[in-house]
Each structure stands twice: as C-alpha cells, then as structure tokens.
Amino acid sequence: MTSAKKLSSKRRVILKLSGEALREAGSKDNISPEIVDRMACEVKAAMDTGKVELGVVVGGGNFWRGASASARGMDRATADYVGMLATVMNALALQGALEEKGVPTIVQSAIEMKNVAETFIRRKASRQLANGHVVIFAAGTGSPFFSTDTTAALRASEMGADQVLKATMVDGVYDSDPKKNPDAKRYDRVSFQECISRQLQVMDSTAFSLCMDNKIPIIVFDLEKPGNVTAALLGEDIGTVVDSGDA
C-alpha cells in the first residue's frame, strides 16, 4: 500500500473515537452536546499550537451496531451500511462543534452524500490536512464487514500518519482485563508481536495487521480524563504505545 506523502513536517495523526464516547452514560440522547463540546475544546487546544495535522475517525455505536443487528437476524451487509450512516451523524455533530470554535473542519464520507459531506478522495484529504483542516472520515471504509477501527488504520496508512490514537474507556493496554483482575499490569509500551502472542485485544485483527504491516504505532489512552485528548494529539507520554518494538 502506498501512503500519501505529507506536505509538511507537522505531526500527523489519526484519532479514533468510538460512537459510545459521544453519549452520556444513562442518557436517552444518542449524542451529548456537552461531551462533543469538550472534545472540540481539547482538539482546538492542540490545533492552536500549530504542531499537529489531525484526521478523525468516529464510530456509530451510540446509534447502531451492525454486528448486533446481524445477530438478531438482519442481513449483515445491510446492518453494516446502517452503521456507516450512523457515523456520518456523529461526524457532522463533531464538525459543528469544532467549527463553532473556529477550527476549520471537513467531513469526507466513504459513501457519497454530497449535500452534507465531501466524498473521500485520498490526495485531497492529505492536502486538507496539510492546510490545517481537521478532516473527519465518515461512513467507515464504505464497505460492509469492516469496523471503524479498520477505517482508522486504513486512513492512517493512506494519509502517511505518524500514529493512530485510539481513545478508549481505559488508560492503556493491560495483560488481562483490569475490570476483572485487580492485579492486571498496564504496559507503557508493548510490541505488535507481544500483543499477538499474549492475545491482547488492542484493535480488531484487520486494523491491527494494517498498523503492524505499515509500522504505524498505536497509542491507547483514556478518553474520559480531561486534557488527555490534547495531550495525546501533541505526543505527550500518555497511555500505552504499541509499536514494532525497535529501540
């Protein structure tokens, strides 16, 4: 796979947000304006430094999960397409919050919907990143059976990103489930190969393989702690680094 060549020396990253992260726990609303606003504030703080080029991939799980719908009898491809449309709603909400704060933002969709988003074009997206726009990649890969984790890995590879930042509800990668094992060990850094050998669930297998094959480090960090998104975007020591393990 040939990645896009960066047009500047800025740090270029892809931030992966789950759809669930946009919903307040216990709320009936699928999108929390307060949470979206907080994320936009943290992204703005990083963008204002002029040190980062940012692409965002957001999931749609706060509205719909294709795999779950398929398990209940719906055709899987159709269920996944519904999920892709859910990611567009989240992308537009995030775009609105960012632009309200003066951050130039473009939504590029893998499924054509010209009235609300640009259609994804790799070279155009790379230029937009270099020109200081936040580019939100919506509608997944445009094909069923692929997760938004895979979308993040794919867009990172295409954009020549330096890292994939995976924002989660835990503060890194552990050797076992910290919710079940109070003695679980958190890694500061772990190699791709060790993740495979220890069966550590960092991303789904397709996404993980894309990052490993293209030597794109994955940073897993806690989204809920205030300031963490800004810190991750600026390359501060945060969460767990998953990489090739080279010194």
Confidence bin at 2 (pLDDT 50/70/90): very low
Q: Is 205 annotated as a binding residue?
A: no
Report residue 203 as tokens. Answer: 């991303």
Q: Which domains does the chain have, with CATH numbers?
A: 11-243 (3.40.1160.10)
User: Given a cut of 70, is residue 79 above it in pLDDT?
Assistant: yes
Q: Is 187 annotated as a binding residue?
A: no
**Residue of 67 and 130 predicted with greater confidence:** 130
User: Given a cut of 50, is residue 232 above it in pLDDT?
Assistant: yes
d(Cα 196, Cα 183) in Å, to the nearest integer? 21
Q: Is 174 annotated as a binding residue?
A: yes
Chain segment 163-209, per-residue pLDDT in tens? 999 999 889 999 998 889 989 999 999 999 999 999 998 999 999 99
Query: What is the CB neighbour count within 10 angstroms for residue 127?
Result: 14
Q: Is 197 annotated as a binding residue?
A: no
Q: What is the mean pLDDT of residues 56-80?
A: 88
Confidence bin at 66 (pLDDT 50/70/90): confident
User: Given a cut of 90, is residue 26 above it in pLDDT?
Assistant: no
Q: Where are the alpha helices (DSSP H) in 72-116?
A: 76-100
Burial of 97 (0-12, 13-18, 19+ CB in 10 A): buried
Q: Is 65 annotated as a binding residue?
A: yes
| Among candidate residues 235, 243, 241, the one with its CA nearest the CA of residue 173 | 241
User: Given a cut of 70, is residue 17 above it in pLDDT?
Assistant: yes
Q: What is the mean pLDDT of residues 98-125?
A: 97
Q: Is 145 annotated as a binding residue?
A: yes
The confidence score (pLDDT) of residue 68 equals 82
User: Given a cut of 90, is residue 9 above it in pLDDT?
Assistant: no
Range name among 101-115, 121-135, 196-210 with the lowest pLDDT average:
196-210
Confidence bin at 227 (pLDDT 50/70/90): very high
Place of tokens 């080279």: 246
Report residue 23 as tokens. Answer: 């919903």
Q: Which of the 8 DSSP states describes residue 107? A: E
- Say which amino acid occupies 31: I
d(Cα 177, Cα 200) in Å, to the nearest integer? 10
Q: Which of the 8 DSSP states describes residue 68? A: H
Q: Spell out the residues 6+ positions from residue 78 whose beta carbon is closer than 8 angstroms to its own.
A: 144
| Among candidate residues 168, 227, 166, 165, the one with its CA nearest the CA of residue 38 | 227
**Residue of 201 and 124 predicted with greater confidence:** 124
Q: What is the mean pLDDT of residues 145-151?
A: 95
Q: Is 23 annotated as a binding residue?
A: no
Q: Is 105 annotated as a binding residue?
A: no
Q: Is 206 annotated as a binding residue?
A: no
Indicate the average pLDDT of the chain. 93
Q: Is 147 annotated as a binding residue?
A: yes
The confidence score (pLDDT) of residue 6 equals 58
